[in-house]
Every structure is written in structure tokens, then in C-alpha cells.
Structure 1
Amino acid sequence: MTSQDALQEIESLSEKINYHNHLYYQESRSEISDYDFDQLLNRLIELEIEFPEHKKEDSPTQRVGGTITKSFDSVTHKYRMLSLGNTYSKEELIDWDKRVAKGLETDDYEYFCELKFDGVALSLTYENGLLKRAVTRGDGVQGDDITANAKTIRTIPLRLQKDNIPAAFEVRGEAFFPKNEFNRVNQEREDIGEERLANPRNAASGTLKMQDSSIVASRKLDCYLYYLLGENLSYDSHESSIAQIEEWGFNVSPTYRRCQNIQEVLDYISDWEEKRHDLPSETDGVVIKVNNLKQQEALGFTAKSPRWAISYKYKAESASTTLESISYQVGRTGSVTPVANLKPVLLAGTTVKRASLHNANEIERLEIRIGDTVNVEKGGEIIPKITSVDFSQRDLFSVPVEYITHCPECQTELVRIEGEANHYCPNVESCPPQIQGRIEHFIQRKAMNIDSLGTETIRGLLDKGLIQNYADLYNLTFEDLNGLEFKTFSEKKGEYSLRSLREKSATNIIKAIDASRSIPFEKVLFALGIRYVGQTVAEKLATHYKNIDALADADLESLINVPEIGDRIAQSVIEFFAEEKNQLLVNQLKSAKVQFELIETEIISEGSSLSDKTFVISGVFNQFSRDELKDKIKANGGKVVSSISAKLDFLVAGDKMGPAKLEKATKLDVKIISETEFLNLLES
């Protein structure tokens, strides 16, 4: 095949695929089978691999992902993405309408109502009809560039085909996790032993920040668009701009309505209060906007939100049911959490059987008793919460709940740390759920990434005595795993069954354990499970101390001098390494050749313009990540330090810089420079 032949076929395939995509996602119909569609797409992928010079920015193959993004650039919004004022009261909404009338000095205005979808706000920039950039809301001033991930959302057009499109414009909307897809993904995660996603909104947010866009594509997010912005646009109302973006091919929820007055707005709110549960996405309210754009301009903005728009929030749904019992769950840190077991009740489309009671303080606050009639509320979370007790229904012979005094798993007496609400089981070495929890934390993807080891398999290894802690995983052999029998519990059947590991699974586990030896130090440090040391803290400690021995020898003063490390974290690190059992664990992992030293990339010298100058970096930057900025300083002869002193030459200040550092630098008369001034310094 010649290059010209390939180009013609690529263009033909792209046209067909875009046509069928539009039919399926915009018109909810299809003319070909899924198999035939996949054949077209696979052929296009093959041609683009063979003839990469013909792969276009808006190719339909962008929908399947594959881009790996190590970090997301911060982008300043051309137009600020302000938040809306909220109200839960129809009376407050009427008061807001009066303020609109007063601000406009007329009652000749109308509203445009849209359902408020519970997702992630996005800004999409188009130039010459082509999607150039997708940015999250962030803090309203700047957000993260997630263009590669946004391209996998099939309802977001990669190229607009109409004639009347402005050279450049911005359209905003809400990316969300459709209910059916959220349930599908959770079922898949459950099947492979992974923790379920908590709720669609948080899951959508986390998905859009994933590094691998092919995973984003597999989750099949969706997006509704609701706002058009740009220079010299010729629309006089919000309604006409929405009609325009619909005509251009954007996915607009058909649930909007133009309302002549506040009473029609209230009718709209009532109409959708129940119907919204039948929609494909979660909704939590209604957005009301003054329709006329000149009137919007006249009303203007407060510091945080527009005066011409407001969000009415539906109250979280609640139901009444009976508290049948309270059980207690023990986490990997020994924290004991009480869980209310409820008489099953239908709430927001799902059957609720459990609700978190959080801690002893919450039980006392609610004055809850077994057998009580309780009100349960669900606000998008998987586990709902009990909001109140109906005391009028209480049995006269019921007794107050006495919080357990001993661990439900190992019978060790519980302790309560001063200043904390939770009770803890101090039996760190022998309490089964604590041991299992630490191992599950150690193997997770964000830590050692030992896949194929599910909860039931770990329990089987513990029951058989093959492991006692996470370091023992490196002593496992194929023979230990092949044919290993363990119990699995089916919630549907309410019973245990016996399962055994097959040869392929055993091989995969051994390979994954072996591969984890090369996991970077900062992830290993997170995997150790030191209390209060999450991913970000682990990265800061690894960067500062370079290896495990230096960290283990650090004292309190040294630790709290590390940026963003406070007394609580510092004390927890010291206590961890002071424990003999933890020292043995670390030595065992060292013997297993786990990575306990930071591997730093070699910095190539660019010059000496910053020679002998010291810098502290604080905040978020437009052109550099913090690590890139540090490397730039070092490459030009400068030195990056972690704390501000009178000897410091420069504080490079980005957005969201901590006020304490700014105040200290000002007091010590340290020169504070912006990112632009830093670049000028480099050039000079």
C-alpha cells in the first residue's frame, strides 16, 4: 500500500467511525454491530501505526487512550471558573429572585433552569473547530490540563464539522460517571478483589487525573456541556447559546427549561425532584440563571460567584428503618469503627443494610440504642449515615449502647489516645485484621503494586502460616502457592466456599512479587504503612533523606525541618523506626533487595548563572513542576534548600504559596521572586 492509498483509507475510516460515534452517543441509535465498529477502529489503528505521518490530532483512535501523563500541567483559565452560591430553601430562592429584580430595576426578566450534575467541572477550548485543551476547574483561577484523558470521553467532540464556528471559544460542562458504568466498574473491581469506588463523583474526579489514558477510556465517562464563552459571540441569551452548542454537536442534557418567573422555577424544581433518579447520572440540584446576557452583565459578580445565577440543592434523601445490631470493624492501624446493621430499606434507588457510626462519640451524640427507629441519609456515598433517632418509637425497655472494651477479633483491651475520637486495638503483632490490613496496604497499586494477590488469597496465606507480615511475601515460592486452598465468602449466598490457586495465578503472583523489588523508594516508604505517612509525605521524606537509613536516624528537629512535615508525622516516623519489630521488617526487606534508596536522575549542566545562589521553592507554577524547577536551578549552578533563613538568596513564589513562608521571608528581608522573574534571572 502506498502512502497516498493509506491516507485515503484513513480519511474514509475516520469519517465512518465519526459518523457511527455520533449516531450512538448523540442520537442513541446504531446502524452497525459493535463487532463491525471494532473492526473499523482496529483497521484505523493498524494504518496509523504503519503510516504515523497521517495520524491526525482529532483521529477517532484518540478515544481509546494510551497516552501516559506523568504530571498534569497547571493552566490559568482565560475566564475565571467561579463557584455558585447555594441554597436548600425555596424561601431563600424567592429572596434571591427579589435581589435580581432590585439589581435589574425591572421585573422584565426570565430564567434558564438546568439540572446540576454531580461530576467534575471542565473547561474545553476549541481553535478552528479542533479541541486544543481540556482543563479542570481547580481553584477557579487555574486548573490541571487533562486533555489526553478528556479525549477518551466519546461525547466530547474532537473536531467540529459545522461552518459557523468561531475561530476560538470555550465551552464548559460537567464530566461524570454514568450510573450503569460506575456499577459495572465496581463489579469488576469486586471480582478481582479490589476496593469498590466510593461514589460516582469522586470516582470521576480520580479517573480524570489518572496517568494512563487507556484506563480512563475503559471507564467510559460522559460529559454534559452547559456554558459558552468567547470573544465577539453574537448571542443575546443563555438559551440561544445552548441551542448553538447543541447544533454544533455538543452533548447537552435535554432536561433544561426556560422559565418566565420564579414560580415556574419552583415548578421545575418540583418536577425533577423524583424524576432525576431515572437519569443516567447523579444529580444534586438545579442551576438557575438569568437568561438575558446583557442582564447577566448588569448584575455582575461578587468576589466568589455571579449574582445572576444560583444553585438550588435538593436535600439528601432519607428513610426510616430499624437498627438491628452494631458490629465493630478493625482497620490496619488498629482503629475500631462501629457499623450499624439495619433492617434493609430502599433509599435513593438502592437497598441500604449498613451505615457507619464512626466512633463512640457519634453513638453518644445520637443517643442510639439497639431496636431504635433511625433516620438514614444517603448523599452519594456507598455507606450512608444515621442522622437522627425517632425517640417516639423507642422501646421503653431498651438500654443505652455500651461501647466495646475489647477487640472483637483478638480480645485485647482497647485503648483511646488522648485527643482522638477512635478506640484502638494495641495488639499490632497478633490482631488478624491489622496484620492483613498492613499486607493489603503494602501490595496496593500505589505502593508495591503486587497484583493478583487478593484479600482472600492473603487470608489463606496467613491461615496456612506461610506469611506473618508483608516482608514474608518475598520468601514465597511457586510451590507454596500452586494449589493453595482458601475460603472465599459470597455475600449473595451468605456462605463460604473452598477455592484453590491454579498454576497460572501462582506464577503471576511470584512474578509480581519479584517485579516489586524495583519499585521506587518513595513508594516503598509509603508501603511500609507508617501512620500519617501517605503518598505525598513519603515522596517528601524520600526526596529529603535519600535512603532508609538516613530517615531511620533522623531526630525530631531534623524531621520537622522537612517542608510540610509537622510534629505529629515526625513523631510517628520516630516511633516506627524505634520499634524492634519494624527494624527487623526493614532488614528483611533489605535482604529481599527491595529499593530503599532514591534513584536521582543525572542533572546536565546548563550554565553557571545561578552559581552560589540559594533558593526555596513554594507554591504551584505554570511552566514548571516543582521538581523541574529544582532541576533547572541545579543545572544552572544554584542550590535548593528546604527552609527559609536570613542567608537565603531567593524565595521563588508560585500560586497557593503557604502564608507562613511568605511572612517569614518578608520579616528576614529575603528577596521574593515570581516564576517570570526567575526566568529573567536565568537569562541575565
Structure 2
Amino acid sequence: MAQDPPVSDMSEDQARSELQRLALALAQANRAYHHDDSPSIDDATFDRLKLRNAQIEQRFPHLKRKDSPSDQIGAKPKEGFCKIRHRQPMLSLSNAFEAKDVEDFVARLKKFLNLKPQSDMRMTAEPKIDGLSLAVRYEKGQLVHAATRGDGETGEDVTANALTIADIPKTLSGAPDILEVRGEVYMTHADFAALNVAQEQAGQKPFSNPRNAAAGSLRQLDAQITKSRQLLFFAYAWGDLSEPLAPSQSKAVARLRALGFSTNSLFKTCDTSEELISHYRAVEMARADLGYDIDGMVYKVDDLALQARLGFRATTPRWAIAHKFPAELAWTELLGIDIQVGRTGALSPVARLNPVTVGGVVVSNATLHNEDYIAGRDSKGQSIRGGKDIRVGDWVQIYRAGDVIPKIADVDLARRPADSRAFDFAEKLKQEGIQGQRAPGDAIWRYSGAEPLADLAIESLKHFVSRQAFDIEGLGAKQIEQFYNRGWIRTFEDICTLKARFGPGQLQQVSKLEGWGEKSAQKLFDGIDAKRSIELHRLIFALGIRHVGEGAAKLLANRFVTWEAFSEAMLSAVPGSPAAAPVVDIDGVGAVMAQSVVEPFQDPARFAALQCLVAHLQVIPAPQIDTASSPVAGKTVVFTGTLLKTTRAEAKTRAEMLGAKVSGSVSAKTDILVAGDGAGSKAKKAADLGIETLDEEGWIALIEGL
């Protein structure tokens, strides 16, 4: 991702343009999160964009927009619900991300109240529940209505749905005549998992995380659907009151608990910022054991008289702040280590975790890479994680970067069980009954048994039908497992012959399976027929040859053009030769990859299987263009920004067809940078290196007519 230019370096025009972009992006994100219950960006990205917007407004206050995200709370109520206007606005909270932010917050409060810096000031600290805010109004002890936050001023009337939640009392005894209780509707990890199983069994889309599930369940037009789902409610505040609950925040929350509401057991009073941060750290470590999602801690001034003196800003109370957890990090327990068999026979260790939410996604597995990684060393034998090994029973810190598979960042040795044992890869394989070996110089253990493994075959078949390979509509990973377990598909050829082997009753046999019908079965067979014509590079990639990714498959296809030429060249290569000519002389293909490409063709059984497969296909030759007159032949080209007249993928393919090498990053070896709209750091780096930079029009003009 390109780095945002520093606010301090912005011109007024740049700031105006950036504020417009941020207003649109944050408005869309707010609607997706609060209105549609389907977040379009993660919390960390949202917080970063909102902070950047505030920083620009602070530097250019005269440019603040009327629709500034700084003044927005939530999103407009969803259509289909009656509306309820809050007697007192449901405000959002300012955010703190570092310990220093908390210290500064407390210092500002003391300065505002004219208190000495060294004096104590009692605060409350409680987990920030990741759910849906709800206000429940009682009059003379009777629940009269419940409303979501909405846009902070007006919410959705979800009274009928709230009445189905066991944590929300229908009547109160000893409460003020008017009492509006505010809190968070949420769902536990266990109930979330059970709900998603039910969703998938019903053929419906599963929820992405417990917060979305809770929000979607509460905002049902049919209250019976809400009733069927296990929603819970934590009370933590109040709105409209006919008389005070108590003189302090802590005593008011205790009063709510006495009235029959669930309040959080981790609620605590603290006298200093150091105590607040200490409690934050303790809750962060216990986060995975809670069984529900939290994304930080909320600190409030305890004395309600001081809260009144501090008052409010436009959209936030001055006396409270949310201290967010790092969105991409979480601690949890490692329950076990499993071995997975990859499509090339690689035996990969996978951590089985006590489920925890990381970056808005519930994580129950994490990659452990290989034996050395578990032992605390890298491929060169150097220490990683300070040399800490990973053991079953350990407390581990999980991180995600973007959408990649979760990984383990750290191990808490202080919480390691006294009877823990170092993980023994060979012993684990023996327990699982898997034959494997690790060749000298190889970081990976590989399957070495004579009998084919079901897991290996299934992974190969999944790869064969993946998006960059055959991409058969109606035949994905789930269907591959289903058909493999029934014995219908065991080889690549079996996919092509599925229709013929079923005969006249083909539709009926498939349509009777769970999750299938006649339409989906027909779509499957049509999808298989549609992919009997396949581009050569897609076929090569689909075969799942070790070390051959999508890019290498294109290199091979462009070099040999047809399947016949490709297979003949592989058959004629010198058996066992490190060079495996004529593959190794292709730019971008090394000796190791070349040997992997040759192997399937020189194994009689594997080559026979390939020939049987190709007999059912029409392999489309790689397109050939005379690049002798191409102005970009042999040059390295990088594309960045948004292209308007074509997609980035199409532009890259066109460049490769013209003999160019397409790279994803700018370096001294780059010859041309094609910069579309919104080009960022790559354009700046190219300018610094003196690299030729073209806009989209310039690029088209360069290659036009070729």
C-alpha cells in the first residue's frame, strides 16, 4: 500500500482534495458498518482515515467540510424500521492508541479542572464490547421501547427484538420512573460458530464476525429470527433519567447491576493513568479467554459532578476515551499443532488456536511454516522471536497483515505450562501415521509414502479448479471434497469424464446431494464443458507442479506456445539433469524449477495421466506477437494507480505479450512506470530514480498499433 503523504507537506489544494476523498471513504465505511452490518474496511483502517481527516482539518480549519467525518456518528437508520429520536444523543468516543495518549488525556482533564498534575483522579475502566449499541427505555418499571444508536440522534425501533433477549429485563423494581439504559448487544464466540454452521446448512452466507452476526440478528424485521439467535446484553451507561442513579459512574453501574442488568466483571476503578494502563494490559492478555469480542478499554471520569463540569464536544464527551487494542494483534492459547498435506506433498504444521478476533476476523488457526520456525530459528539458523520455540499449551500472540494467513508473533514464556514439551516433528508424523522425510538443505518435510494420500489428492484437485487454473463454475473446494469422498472424482481426468460416467441419470445423482438441486447440477456440467477449451498457461498452472506459480506458467506457455511442443521438450530433457534443458534457459526459470517441470513428464504413470487428461481438452496455444518492433520488448514495466481505459490485469498481460517484463515494485532495474490516477509512492520513487514515467494515454500511444 502506498504511504499517505505527510499532512505537514500538503498544499491547500492537496488538502482540499484529500478531505473530499476521506469524506466519501468514511461515509461509505460508516454506512457499511452501521447500516448494512457488513464492514468494508477493518477498524484499524477506519481509525487511521478518521485520524488523518482530523489532522488535515487541524492544519487547514477553513477547509473543514459541512459533511466532515469529524461530525458524524454512526449512520442513518435502516429503512423498514420505525424511527425513535434519542432524548439525549448517543455519542461516540475519542480514541487513544498508545499509553502516552492515555497519559495526555488524563493530563488534559486535570488541566481543565484546575487540578494539580500530581493529584489522583478516580477513573473507571471497562472493556469496550465489539457489538451493537442499544438504548432501552423504561417508564415506571416497564420496558416501553428499545432503539439502536443510528446516527446518534435517531435510531431504529427494535423493541420487539430486544424483548427476546434474556439479558434485558422486561420490568424493573426500584428504578427511577424514567430510566434509559444503554449498553451493547453482542454474541459469544461459541454461539457465533453455531450460527454460522446453521447459516451454511441453510445455504445462506455466513457472518464474517460476531459483531456483524449480533447486529444482523438484532436488526431483523421478524423478531422470531432474533429470538432464535443467542444475543446477550452488557449495560454500561444511561441516557434520559427522572432522577440520578448515583453520584459516581462506578456506583451507577453497580445500581444497574442491582436492577437486574448484566455488567462487565472486568469493570474497575483506578486513580492514576498508570493503573489504567496496567488494567488495559491485563485485559489484553485475558482477551482470548473472555469468549466474546472486545476491541479496547473505555476510561471515564468516575465523579459524575466532574463529568458535568467537563461536558461535551460536538460528537464526543470530554470526560471519556476509548483505548483501542492493536487491531492486528491478539493473545490466545495454542491448543494443538496439526500437520496438513499440501498439493505438492509438503507437510505443513498448523497451529490450532482458542478462537480470537484479530483485525475484525475470528481466527482459530495460524500457519507455523516449518520445523525450524517452530523451533525459533530461520532458514539460516538465526534466532527468531528471541529464540523462543512454540509448544502446545503456550500463550501466543497472533497477527495478521492485510488479508494474509494469521501468524505467530511472540510466545509468553511466563505462562508456559510446567510440563510442556518441545514439539518433535518426526514424532508427530509417526503419531499421525504419515511417512515423511526432510531432504538436506530443504526447510520442508515432504510426504514420502508409496500410497497416495487423500489429503494430497484433494488439495491437488482443489488447485486444479482454482480461479487462476480451470475456474469451473459450481466446482469449488467444498464440492471437490464432497465428490472425492463419494469416489466420483479422484484424478484430473475424472472431472472431464464426470458427465459421461454418470450417463442419463447425471442430473438426478448430483441434484440429490445435500446443497444441490437440478439447476446447480446442470450449471456444474455446463461449467465443465465450458472449460474443455483452456489456455496453455492455465493448464500448466492447474497441474500443480512444484515451484510453478501463475507467472512461471505464463513464461513456459509463451516459450513453447503449444502443449505438443511443451510436452515434447519436457520428454527430451536429460533425466536428472540439474539444468533440465531446454527449460532452464528461460529468463525467470532456475534449475530447481526446471527440474520440477520435467519430472511429471519423465514419470511414466504421471505422463500417461497427463495424456489422458489432455485428450479431453482443446488446449489454446499461447498468443504470439512479433516483438521485434515492440518498443517495450525486454524492458521492465511497473503499473501503479487506477487505469481508466483498461484493467490493471489486462494492461499487464498486454505488456507481457509485447515482450516486456512486468514487475510489482520500482527499482533501479525499472525502465518504465505507467502511472494511473492516484499513483502514490511508486511515482515518487520513479521520479527520484529518473525512471521514464508515462500516464495511461502515453502508454497507449507507445504501444499503439502493435
User: Normalized against structure 2, the TM-score is what?
Assistant: 0.47
The structure having more radius of gyration, on CA atoms, is 2
